[in-house]
């Protein structure tokens, strides 16, 4: 059969059909809204799919071997997600079940007098865009550690653990004598590719440190402006002005609260938390932190592959969950590390010289551009930064 081609802009479909009446009716009905390329056989469609860009959908008659064509499409990795619509002179439950079983996307009558084809095509386009965006994010977080980086990590940390074993044992004894609690503190962290793992550190805080953090927001060095204080009536400003009960209430932790006020307070929280003169730190913990000895157990994290020697610091869960937007997710696309770019460029200079946004951007810069030369530079600059000028 001779090929017909109607080419207005917008969406594109392959119509596989050899009935002239069906073709003419289809072009009259949809030709102004979509680009239609008419093909006379499934083989012709398969050949064109292998040599050109895929359309937004393939519409094929059951009577031309549409179901067999559908199987061939789904067996091909290149076209397995391509939307396929089967047409028939009449619809019945048996045909619908068969199309669904073969992973077809929809079934229409040859006259397209039931259902809305344009709506379905819009859905296929949106679905493809969503899948593409998810795949892009997935690829961005599929972090591959170069062989040179992993080899250097194993050799360096293996040697360091052997040489520092007397110091590690001594510190463990001192921690046990200084305060009650475990020697090593384990915390859930989010590293490269958003992988969650246990990060090891010598314990430098009281054992109830995690509970105390809820009441220490005003000491956070990265704090934004404080949100307006809650009032006893639990109303947001808009409802209070109107003099009415809460118009947007929600139930949380056993209490009825204003959703607007809750979202305002949630958005006012910063991602990173760091405290000056932290009252939770033990006497020995202060020394361990200022000399960075508390981080030595992370040598075992590096040796086992949880993190690298150089990379972006793995974050606690409550910090990482705030950095999942398109603008910030790329900071997790680089290797996690014991030391990194932001530590050697800003650390120890105080709040006014290190904002939350600057730290995130330094992490993103490393994730995009890390190399052996950059890692070596960071390692050489790390030693002067170990003795910090601020008590954090």
pLDDT in tens, 266-319: 445 444 445 555 566 788 888 998 888 998 999 999 999 999 999 998 887 757
* Cα–Cα dist 376/336, whole Å: 16
For the entire predicted model, the pTM comes to: 0.48
Please list the alpha-helical segments (H only) found in the chain: 20-30, 42-51, 66-75, 93-101, 117-140, 147-178, 209-212, 237-242, 259-268, 283-290, 298-304, 317-320, 341-345, 356-369, 372-385
> pLDDT tens digits for 130-142?
665 555 455 556 7
Please choose, from the candidates 319, 318, 320, 218, the residue with its C-alpha nearest in 3D space to the C-alpha of residue 278: 218
pLDDT at 89 over 50: yes
Place of tokens 């860009």: 53
* Cα–Cα dist 7/9, whole Å: 6
With a pLDDT cut of 70, the percent of the chain lying above it is 67
Place of tokens 């610091």: 313
For residue 257, what pLDDT is reported? 60
Answer with the residue of higher pLDDT: 389 or 194.
Answer: 194
For residue 189, what pLDDT is reported? 87
Q: Cα–Cα–Cα angle for 106, 125, 324, nearest 5°?
A: 120
pLDDT at 85 over 90: yes
> pLDDT tens digits for 196-232?
889 999 988 876 655 555 554 554 444 544 444 444 4
Instruction: Give the chain's largest Cα–Cα span.
Output: 91
Tell me if 213 sits within 8 A of 279, measured CB to CB.
Answer: no
Q: Using 50, 70 and 90 to split pLDDT, how confident is the model at 338?
A: confident
Tell me if 2 sits within 8 A of 28, measured CB to CB.
Answer: no
pLDDT at 344 over 60: yes
Q: Cα–Cα–Cα angle for 246, 248, 249, nearest 5°?
A: 75
Tell me if 171 sits within 8 A of 288, measured CB to CB.
Answer: yes
Average pLDDT over the chain reads 76
pLDDT at 171 over 60: yes
Answer with the residue of higher pLDDT: 90 or 246.
Answer: 90
114-118, 182-186, 205-209, 279-283: the lowest-pLDDT one: 205-209
How many residues are there in the chain?
Answer: 392
Q: Kindly write down the DSSP assignment for every residue of 128-148, as one continuous string.
A: HHHHHHHHHHHHHT-----HH
CB atoms within 10 A of CB 172: 15
For residue 5, what pLDDT is reported? 40
Q: Using 50, 70 and 90 to split pLDDT, how confident is the model at 14?
A: very high
> pLDDT tens digits for 18-77?
888 899 999 888 888 888 889 989 999 888 887 666 788 999 999 999 999 999 888 876
Tell me if 196 sits within 8 A of 190, measured CB to CB.
Answer: yes
């Amino acid at each position: 059969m001779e090929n017909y081609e109607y080419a207005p802009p917008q969406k594109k479909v392959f119509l596989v059909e050899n009935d002239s009446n069906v073709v003419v009716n289809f072009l009259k009905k949809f030709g102004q809204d979509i680009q239609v390329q008419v093909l006379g056989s499934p083989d012709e469609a398969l050949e064109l799919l292998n040599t050109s860009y895929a359309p937004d959908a393939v519409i094929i008659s059951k009577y031309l071997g549409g179901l067999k064509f559908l199987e061939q499409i789904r067996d091909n990795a290149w076209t397995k997600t391509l939307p396929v619509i089967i047409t028939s002179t009449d619809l019945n439950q048996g045909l619908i079940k068969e199309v669904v079983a073969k992973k077809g996307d929809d079934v229409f009558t040859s006259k397209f007098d039931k259902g809305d084809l344009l709506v379905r095509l819009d859905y296929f386009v949106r679905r493809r865009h969503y899948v593409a965006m998810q795949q892009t994010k997935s690829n961005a977080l599929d972090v591959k550690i170069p062989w040179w980086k992993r080899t250097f990590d194993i050799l360096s940390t293996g040697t360091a653990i052997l040489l520092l074993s007397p110091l590690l044992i001594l510190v463990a004894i001192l921690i046990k004598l200084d305060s009650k609690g475990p020697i090593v503190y384990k915390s859930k962290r989010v590293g490269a590719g958003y992988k969650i793992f246990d990060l090891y550190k010598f314990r430098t805080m009281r054992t109830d440190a995690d509970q105390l953090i809820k009441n220490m927001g005003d000491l956070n060095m990265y704090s934004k402006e404080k949100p307006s204080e809650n009032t006893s009536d639990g109303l947001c400003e808009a409802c209070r002005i109107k003099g009415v009960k809460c118009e947007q209430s929600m139930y949380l932790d056993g209490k009825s609260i204003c959703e607007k006020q809750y979202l305002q307070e949630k958005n006012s929280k910063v991602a990173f938390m760091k405290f000056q003169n932290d009252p939770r730190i033990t006497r020995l913990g202060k020394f361990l932190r200022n000399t960075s000895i508390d981080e030595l157990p992370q040598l075992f994290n590096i040796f086992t592959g949880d993190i690298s020697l150089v990379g972006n610091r793995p974050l606690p869960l409550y910090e990482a969950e705030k950095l999942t937007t398109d603008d910030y997710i790329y900071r997790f696309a680089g290797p996690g590390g014991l030391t990194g770019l932001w530590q050697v460029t800003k650390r120890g200079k105080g709040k006014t010289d290190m904002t939350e946004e600057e730290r995130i951007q330094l992490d993103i810069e490393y994730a995009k551009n890390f190399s052996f030369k950059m890692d070596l530079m960071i390692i050489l600059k790390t030693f002067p930064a170990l003795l910090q000028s601020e008590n954090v």
